[in-house]
Amino acid sequence: MCAKKSGSFEDLAVVGVDIGKDTFHLVGFDRAGQLVMRKQIKRLALNATFEQLPRCIVGMEACLSAHFVSRTLRGMGFEPRIIPAIYVKPFNKGQKNDYNDAEAIAEAALRPNLRTVSEKDQDQLDLQALHRVRARLASRRTATINQIRAFLIEQGITVRSGLRALKNSFETILEQRRDEISPRMRGILIGLYGDWLWLDKRIGDVSGEIEEISRTEENCANIMTIPGIGPMISTAMVAAVGKGEAFDRGRDFAAWVGLVPRQFSTGGRTILGRITKRGSRYLRMLFVQAAKVIMMRPHRWSDFSFGSWLTEAVARMPRNKAAIALANKLARTAWSLLRHGTRFDAPKDAAMEAI
C-alpha cells in the first residue's frame, strides 16, 4: 500500500517508521511539512525501499530491533533517531493505528531539543542479553524456592528464612519427615530441588561470562575501581549507555536512572518528593544494592574519598534516604569515569564486597 500526497518527494526531510514484527509502516514529510509518503512494507523489503529514498532523518520508537534497523539505515547514509515512546505519545493524533504512530514518530524526530536513545552496537546488545537472561533465571530460582517452601508449609514443615538455610536442611527434612510426607509430594519436592540446582548452575555460568567480560573490557575495569561496584554494575552500565555520550553530565545520568527526587513545582515554589524511579529499573536496583553494601561497613568509610560526606549524610537523614543519596553519588561518579576513561582516585580494597 502506498500513497503519495501533496509536496515533492525529492524534498523528503523526515521519515517516521513504525516497526512491527513482519511489516513496517512509513510516513514521510518534506521540508515544508507536507505529507509526501504513506507506505507499508515487509521487513525484508527494508533495504530495497530505503535505497530508493533521498537521504534524510529517519525516526523510530525505541523497541525490539530498533538498534538493528538504526545501524542498517546509518550504513546506507541516513540519519536514524531512536526516540523513547514517552516522547512520541504527545504527537499522536486521532485513533491508535500504525500510520498515525508513524506520523507521530516523524513529527517527534524533527524536534531540535528532543533526547534520543543512543544506538547500541552488537557487543552492547550481547552484554544486555546476558544480563536479561541472568535476571530471568534468578527470578525463576526465587519462584522455585518459594514453591518448595509453600509445599513444605502445607505439610506442617517450616524452615527459617534464607536460601542457604533451606538448601542445608532440605535433604534432612526429607529423611526425618519421611512418614509425614507422601511419596508423591516427596517426588514433587525432589524435582523442584533439581530445578533449583540446575538454575544455580546456569546463573553461575552466565555470571562467570559477565565477570570475564568485565575483566577484559577497559571501561568496565575503570568503573570497578569505585568502591562497591563490581562486574554486574559495570557491565550493565556499559551495556545500557555505552560510553555515556547521551548525557552532558553525571546529574543527567543519575536522573535517567531514576535516583533524583520527583519534582512538582509551580508558582515559583520548588516541591520535591520521592525519587522518580524512571529509566532503567535494573540499573537503579544495582546501584542501590551497592550503596547498601557500603553502608553496612561504616569502619571502612574513612578509606574512601566520600567517607566524610557519607558520615555526615547518615547523621542528618534516615538510613534509606542516605542509601539513595549514596547510590546517586555512585552513579554520577561511574558516569564520569566512563565518559572520560579515568579511574577512581583510590584503589579498591579486595576485601570490599562489590556488585
Query: What is the number of alpha carbons within 13 Å of residue 306 lying toward its C-beta?
Result: 20
The model's confidence at residue 7, banded by pLDDT at 50, 70 and 90, is: low
For 319-334, the pLDDT digits (tens) are: 999 999 999 999 999 9
Three-state DSSP state, 117: strand
pLDDT at 268: 83
12-110 belongs to which CATH class? alpha beta
Task: For the chain, give the mean pLDDT.
Answer: 91
**Between vectors from CA 206 to CA 200 and to CA 211, what angle results, nearest 5°?**
120
What number of other Cβ atoms are within 10 A of residue 21's Cβ? 7
Query: Which grid coordinates are listed for 214?
Result: 568485565
pLDDT at 352: 59
Q: What is the mean pLDDT of residues 178-188?
A: 91
Decide if 290 contacts 355 (C-beta within 8 A): yes
Please give the helix or strand (H or E) that residue 105 lies within, else none: helix 98-109
Query: Which grid coordinates are listed for 175?
Result: 529423611
Residue ranges of domains in the chain: 12-110, 122-216, 218-340
Decide if 18 contacts 47 (C-beta within 8 A): no
Sign of CA dihedral 93, 96, 98, 99: negative
**Between vectors from CA 273 to CA 268 and to CA 275, what angle results, nearest 5°?**
130
Q: Is the pLDDT of residue 2 over 60?
A: no
Q: Is the pLDDT of residue 123 over 50?
A: yes
> What does residue 346 show for φ and ψ, rounded to 5 degrees?
-130, 140
Q: What is the mean pLDDT of residues 293-312?
A: 92
DSSP code of 20? -
